[in-house]
Amino acid sequence: MAANFWTSSHYKHLLDQEDVDMVNPLDKEKGITLEDFKLIKMHMANYILKLAQQVKVRQRVVATAITYMRRVYTRKSMTEYDPRLVAPTCLYLASKAEESTVQARLLVFYIKKLYTDDKYRYEIKDILEMEMKILEALNYYLVVYHPYRSLSPLLQDAGLNDLNMTQLTWGFVNDTYKMDLILVHPPHLIALACIYIASVLREKDTTAWFEELRVDMNVVKNISMEILDFYESNRMFTDERINSALQKLSLRP
Amino acid sequence: MGDGSGSRWSRAEWVQQYDLLGKIGEGTYGLVFLARTKSPVGTPSKSIAIKKFKQSKDGDGVSPTAIREIMLLREITHENVVKLVNVHINHADMSLYLAFDYAEHDLYEIIRHHRDKLNHSINQYTVKSLLWQLLNGLSYLHSNWMIHRDLKPSNILVMGEGEEHGVVKIADFGLARIYQAPLKPLSDNGVVVTIWYRAPELLLGAKHYTSAVDMWAMGCIFAELLTLKPLFQGAEVKATSNPFQLDQLDKIFKVLGHPTLEKWPSLASLPHWQQDVQHIQGHKYDNAGLYNVVHLSPKSPAYDLLSKMLEYDPRKRLTAAQALEHEYFKIEPLPGRNALVPCQLGEKIVNYPTRPVDTTTDLEGTTNLPPSQTVNAVSGSMPGPHGSNRSVPRPMNVVGMQRLPPQAMAAYNLSSQAAMGDGMNPGDISKHRGVPQAHQPQQLRRKEQMGMPGYPAQQKSRRL
């Protein structure tokens, strides 16, 4: 990994929001809207998390897996790459990349335990085949920087490293993976946005501290607003709507 | 980068980019083939080493070794690190192929050639140039938070004829890892580093790696370049995942004497220290003296450098960056970019043997000639520059000798690192942002002590 985020492949391949929000023409043909697209990705992020809790891997593996999944769909369609297979395969690949290898048969076992729906029930062979397709889709760029890495030093520097603030900001960072922020913004800015929200919520005055940092506060505030908007609209993400979006993928054009 | 379809190798699209010459090696990971790129007439073709990875033993897809190697090599570009040129997949048999720039030689073969065939030592200029370039590559890796973990002569390649003649390339990143504190315990990964080159802290059961393990291996390699035989040639115990390697420790202590808590304060906290107390400390180690073994004067800069690389305490062990600044590299003969050119103009050129090529093995690993290859009807060899009997040494053209004065060292170092991270921009992902200049608009400005690993504003100690 580059010692320096700014020279890494992660930095070079950051995208603009409009690129991330582009629904693949094949998916559009199936009637997938931008809202459906976001819903499916969020659902798959939750699926990865559920599966990860079963196989007991650390948060970093989950974050890398979700990032892989989101990167895949900036280049491939959900029609060709079924999210219900891509999600567990990304977890499988991330476990290897992050040196916490999970066996494919264990994943398959827990998939069957978690979902009775046949559409989720893929076999080991399917995961192994999809692993190679995902490697290609990612163009073999597997390094991901995460906000977690800079969170502790930043909190410490701001004098906010008590347990309460640490847990709160960590939770916010976890939730950012339900959005596409990691594909668009440098991870330390995402971490700063989470600290900003937490400090406002806990009524901590961090104005002077933020002013001392050479960062564009407009960007930090914009990221914060995106996170808050997500929480605002989160109530509308019902299972019904998610199933309806996934149903469209199953339809023939 | 990478594609692959078709059931047999001859039908996989990506294979059409190459002329396969044959198999040049195999290891636990799989097979290595030599190929040449197909180029339009008039443009030179390149020799490529294609590493085919076996499926994981447990049928668990792409091996984690391959994943790790791809992951790291996609991020780095340095003159003294092997270049990953391409990745290919054959979906039909789910095999993965990594294509690298081909290096004709490696230190294992160079050392063996001097020991068994020539029966004389490697000249000072070559030793110094090999070592300097090796340290240069290692310093780059360490400054990029990578530990190689498996440095040994066979993993250090040296380029053959061409514009990079005599340039050292660190290879085989299958055990390499990124180190961001805290590292996973050693026991979670299984022990790494071939035993003869394994640092004493690992042999004594240390749970965490630092980049110092690579520097111990470097010291062992330096000594081997000087004496043509492994410095600490212990017999490996393979009972458990991390057994007590009594014989290897014994070999080290015979040369360097027994470590003491005074010299290495954290020694007592190492898991195998108690076993060491029982099995080893009772032995009398009359310190043979490293200088006797490597035949160096204790006052020589070479000895000083070597002894600092073989410091017991990993925290006191010289770093790669410090080693590059050592006096040894500032005195004649100065190290150069082409490590294989002779030291004096009148000195004899060493023709190192080229790798033998098994021309009967195809990319599947089956022993039959690939249908797309024509066999030279007269000699029965493969066409092109790798024809004829490959085990016979071929004469090498001496490329104009390049020497580096001390003040040029820094420039050499900088220029070779300038392209970092930019080497393999994929064709199909557009660059949305270029690498920023010295001042990042989004970069944190102050407080060196903040220690945000990965961000340029802070300088963080590379030792954990």
The catalytic position among B19, B106, B150, B362 is B150
Task: Report the SS3 class of residue B384.
Answer: coil
Per-residue pLDDT tens digits for B112-153: 899 998 887 998 899 999 999 999 999 999 998 789 989 999
Percentage above 70 pLDDT, chain B:
65
pLDDT in tens, B170-185: 998 888 867 654 444 4
Residue B127 sits in a domain whose CATH number is 1.10.510.10
Mutate to test the interface with A, among B60, B86, B95, B437 (most CBs of A within 10 A): B60
Return the CA Rg of chain B: 23
- Amino acid code (one letter) for B118: L
B144 inside domain: yes
pLDDT at A133 over 80: yes
Q: Please give the backbone phi and psi of residue B46, each rounded to the nearest 5 degrees, phi first.
A: -115, 145
Parallel, antiparallel or unpaired: strands B18-26 and B30-37: antiparallel
pLDDT score of A71 more than 90:
yes
Q: Closest approach of chain A CAs to the CA of B28, in angstroms?
A: 18
B72 inside 8 A of chain A by CB: yes
**Residue-range domains of chain A with CATH:** 5-143 (1.10.472.10), 148-235 (1.10.472.10)
Determine the structural domain holding residue B296 and report its residue range.
105-330
Domain for residue B153, yes or no? yes
* Phi, psi of B290, rounded to the nearest 5 degrees: -55, -40
At A195-233, the pLDDT tens digits run: 999 999 889 999 999 988 878 999 999 999 899 999 988
pLDDT of residue B27: 80
Are the CB atoms for B382 and B373 separated by under 8 Å? yes
Q: Which chain B residues have a beta carbon less than 8 Å from that of A15? A: 432
The mean pLDDT value for B186-190 works out to 46
pLDDT exceeds cutoff 50 at B354: yes
Question: What pLDDT was estimated at residue B177?
Answer: 65
Is B288 a domain residue? yes
Q: What pLDDT is stored for residue B366 in this prediction?
A: 66
One-letter identity of residue B279: H
Q: Tell me what pLDDT residue B384 has.
A: 36
Q: Residue B54 pLDDT > 80, yes or no?
A: no
Per-residue confidence at B163, pLDDT binned at 50, 70, 90? confident
**CA of A162, closest CA in chain B: separation in Å?**
17
Nearest one of A249, A253, A247 to A78, comparing CA atoms: A249
Contact flag A12-B58 (C-beta cutoff 8 Å): no
If you search the block for the tokens 């050129």, which residue do you land on? Answer: B349
Please indicate, yes or no, if residue B396 is contained in any of the structural domains: no
Q: In total, how many domains does chain B have?
A: 1
- The angle at the Cα of A93, spanning A91 to A96, to the nearest 5 degrees, equals 110
Dist CA A167 CA B98 (whole Å): 42
Query: In terms of CA atoms, which chain A residue is nearest residue B85?
Result: A140
Whether residue B157 is predicted with pLDDT greater than 80 in this model: the reply is: yes
Contact B89 A132 (CB under 8 A): yes
- Please check whether residue B423 touches A, CB under 8 A: no
User: Which residues numbered 108-127 in B keep a CB inside 8 Å of some CB on A?
Assistant: none
pLDDT at B57: 53
Which residue has better confidence, B186 or B191? B191
Distance, in angstroms, between A12 CA and closest chain B CA?
6
Q: Using an 8 Å CB-CB cutoff, list chain B residues near A214.
A: 440-441, 443-446
pLDDT-derived band of residue A10, with 50, 70 and 90 as boundaries? very high
Per-chain mean pLDDT for chain B: 74
| CB contact at 8 A, B342 and B125 | yes
User: Are A51 and A69 a contacting pair, CB within 8 Å?
Assistant: no
- pLDDT-derived band at A69 (thresholds 50, 70, 90) equals very high
Interface touch A136/B96, C-beta < 8 Å = no
Could you tell me which of A121, A146, A55 has the C-alpha nearest to residue A92?
A: A55
Report how far residue B453's alpha carbon sits from residue B461's, in angstroms, rounded to the nearest whole number.
10
Query: What rounded mean pLDDT belongs to chain A?
Result: 91
Residue B413 is assigned to a structural domain of this protein: no
Residue B417 maps to a domain: no
pLDDT bin (cut points 50, 70, 90) of residue B198 is confident
Q: Choosing among A18, A19, A100, A140, which should be mutated to test the B contact, i.e. which has the most B CBs within 10 A?
A: A140
For range B449-453, the mean pLDDT = 40
Distance (Å, rounded) from C-alpha B105 to C-alpha B215? Answer: 22
Residue B381 pLDDT: 31
Is B201 a domain residue? yes
Between B427 and B261, the higher pLDDT residue: B261
Cβ contact B354:B393 at 8 Å: yes
B344 inside domain? no
Q: Categorize the per-residue pLDDT at B193 as very low, low, confident or very high, splitting at 50, 70 and 90.
A: low
pLDDT value at B463 more than 60: no
Which residue from A39, A51, A14, A62 is spatially nearest to A179, judged by alpha carbons?
Answer: A39
Confidence band of A128 (pLDDT split at 50, 70, 90): very high
Closest CA to A176 of A204, A197, A156: A197
Helices (H), ranges, B280-397:
290-294, 301-309, 320-324
Inter-chain CB proximity B421 and A212 less than 8 Å: no
pLDDT at A25: 97
- Confidence band of B400 (pLDDT split at 50, 70, 90): very low
pLDDT tens digits for range A174-199: 999 989 999 999 999 999 999 999 99
